[in-house]
């Protein structure tokens, strides 16, 4: 069976882009299936840095088709900006990029709504969205009556559709007492019609394309955006994004049934980060947090916001390992921990004096969770040049092994720097797409 998934197990920014880039050479198609231009990933290759948001990093390789499916919300201007940026640096896009006609389109009214409403959350703290209109676009998708899909941009009634939605949105904004200039439907229509012409050669039915591809035995690589803890249904609601960013979203977002997925790689950073609002139980607002932020260059790719940083949270990551159906783990940014006297892993929470390894389903309980830490000795070695697992310092290996034990899956990939070359792959023969590890046992009450 041909599918591999790369899924973030924390709050996003796990450096999945680098891994997707590495795995791309073993695949024919790379699939982005949820989220939108809220995600950002940086790929460093051959001394060049690429910052991409919606277009999969597979676009950097020849012979790979990149597919953006109907589960994604798509801002045409942002896609075109990315295409221009790539082409200006010599990357040929041609027929390598397919965009689903089912993808919902982000309009200026979504961005306005995102900015107007983000501060108003029951409970006080803002979600701290990326301000890209993602939530409002998904809200209109679910609401249906004001939604516009990419395929609609090519229909004869597109102008009327924009006029209708803009009129309704203007009434809504006025009702909210927002002092903003009214939306100009003619200008919006003209802008989006021009975008549509530019994107036309890339737009089509990606669901059928992908179903044909799997049935023909093509190898698919599914690239999750954000992290499992930001999943709309299973994450730290309401401090989440608006799509299924955990492994459960692969089938619904892409239209490819889960039975085609052979290998799920769960990606974690060697520590925790979060950008935006919501609890981060292991957050370190101190010298450790500063170390992680500065060494890990923990500033948002999309918004440049400093990320909140803390110790590795094995309670949270074990939950998402199971939720996302992970077979094996990739631990990224291990080099960032070098130079700390000791390293800590949160292996349980105490909530109201009771110890638990279950990740709470309600945000109020998570807010009260006090991490219980295991402390391991740190290491000072520079890991950036290490290429073999056995060449890692014993203490770094002990740290990785403990993460694997707590999450119940083997650590098969370790990253020690941003470049493709700075990656340690354990036991996998080069070019092999098969997991080097036996699949985890079928879950039972005892091992779940
Ligand atoms: P939205 O996706 O812009 O609605 O933002 C909702 C929450 O998800 C906010 O806390 C964002 O900071 C967070 N978020 C969205 N995309 C990413 C990402 O790619 N990495 C990390 N956090 C993200």
| Terminal CA-CA length for the chain | 25
**Dist CA 163 CA 410 (whole Å):** 54
218 C-alpha vs ligand 1 centroid, how far in Å?
32
pLDDT per residue as tens digits for the range 323-335: 999 999 999 999 9
Half-sphere exposure of 395 toward its Cβ, with a 13 Å CA cutoff? 18
What's the pTM?
0.93
pLDDT per residue as tens digits for the range 227-271: 999 999 999 999 999 999 999 999 999 999 999 999 999 999 999
- Ligand 1 within 6 A of 241 CB? yes
At 325, which helix (H) or strand (E)?
none
Residues 347 and 357: beta-carbon distance below 8 Å: yes
Q: Residue 125's pLDDT band (boundaries 50, 70, 90)?
A: confident
Residue of 37, 75, 119, 129 to mutate, ligand 1, most atoms within 8 A of C-beta = 129
Looking up tokens 């900015």 gives: 115
- CA–CA distances in Å: residue 400 to residues 321, 322, 340: 15, 18, 15
247-249-255 Cα angle (round to 5):
125
Please report the pLDDT score of residue 436 as a whole number: 42
Residues 211 and 300: beta-carbon distance below 8 Å: no
- Ligand 1 within 6 A of 34 CB? no
- Ligand 1 within 6 A of 12 CB? yes
Secondary structure, 3-state, 114-141: HHHHCCCCCCCCCCCCCCCCHHHHHHHH
Mean residue pLDDT across the chain: 92
- Ligand 1 within 6 A of 13 CB? yes
At 8, which helix (H) or strand (E)?
strand 3-8
**209: Cβ contacts below 8 Å, ≥ 6 apart:** 67, 98
Write out the two tokens for 423: 């990656």
- Among 114-128, 180-194, 266-280, 419-433, the least confident range: 419-433
405 C-alpha vs ligand 1 centroid, how far in Å?
29
């Amino acid at each position: 069976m041909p599918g591999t998934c790369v899924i973030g197990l924390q709050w996003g920014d796990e450096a999945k882009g680098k891994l997707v880039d590495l795995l791309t050479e073993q695949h024919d198609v790379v699939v982005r299936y949820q989220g939108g231009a809220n995600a950002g990933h940086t790929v460093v290759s051959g001394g060049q840095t690429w910052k991409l948001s919606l277009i999969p990093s597979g676009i950097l390789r020849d012979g790979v088709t990149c597919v953006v499916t109907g589960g994604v919300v798509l801002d045409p201007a942002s896609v075109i900006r990315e295409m221009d940026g790539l082409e200006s640096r010599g990357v040929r896009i041609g027929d390598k990029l397919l965009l689903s006609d089912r993808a919902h389109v982000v309009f200026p009214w979504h961005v306005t709504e995102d900015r107007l409403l983000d501060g108003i959350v029951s409970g006080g703290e803002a979600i701290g969205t990326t301000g890209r209109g993602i939530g409002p676009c998904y809200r209109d998708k679910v609401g249906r009556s004001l939604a516009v899909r990419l395929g609609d941009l090519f229909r004869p009634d597109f102008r009327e559709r924009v006029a209708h939605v803009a009129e309704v949105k203007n009434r809504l904004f006025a009702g909210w007492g927002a002092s903003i200039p009214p939306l100009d439907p003619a200008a919006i229509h003209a802008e989006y019609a021009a975008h549509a012409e530019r994107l036309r050669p890339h737009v089509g039915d990606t669901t059928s394309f992908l179903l044909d591809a799997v049935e023909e035995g093509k190898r698919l690589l599914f690239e999750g955006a954000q992290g499992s803890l930001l999943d709309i249904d299973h994450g730290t609601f309401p401090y989440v994004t608006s799509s299924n960013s955990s492994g459960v979203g692969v089938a619904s977002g892409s239209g490819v049934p889960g039975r085609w997925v052979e290998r799920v790689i769960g990606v974690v950073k060697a520590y925790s980060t979060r950008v935006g609002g919501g609890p981060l139980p292991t957050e370190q607002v101190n010298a450790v947090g500063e170390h992680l932020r500065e060494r890990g260059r923990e500033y948002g790719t999309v918004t440049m916001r400093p990320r909140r940083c803390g110790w590795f949270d094995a309670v949270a990551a074990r939950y998402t390992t199971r939720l996302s159906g992970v077979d094996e783990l990739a631990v990224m940014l291990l080099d960032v921990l070098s130079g700390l006297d000791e390293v800590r892993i949160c292996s349980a929470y105490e909530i109201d004096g009771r110890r638990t390894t279950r990740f709470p389903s309600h945000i109020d309980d998570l807010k009260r969770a006090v991490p219980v830490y295991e402390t391991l000795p740190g290491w000072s070695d520079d890991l950036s040049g290490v290429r073999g697992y056995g060449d890692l310092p014993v203490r770094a290996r002990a740290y990785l092994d403990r993460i694997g034990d707590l999450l119940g899956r083997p650590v098969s990939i370790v990253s020690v720097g941003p470049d493709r070359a700075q990656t340690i792959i354990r036991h996998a023969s080069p070019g092999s797409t098969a997991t080097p590890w036996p699949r985890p046992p079928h879950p039972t009450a005892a091992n779940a």
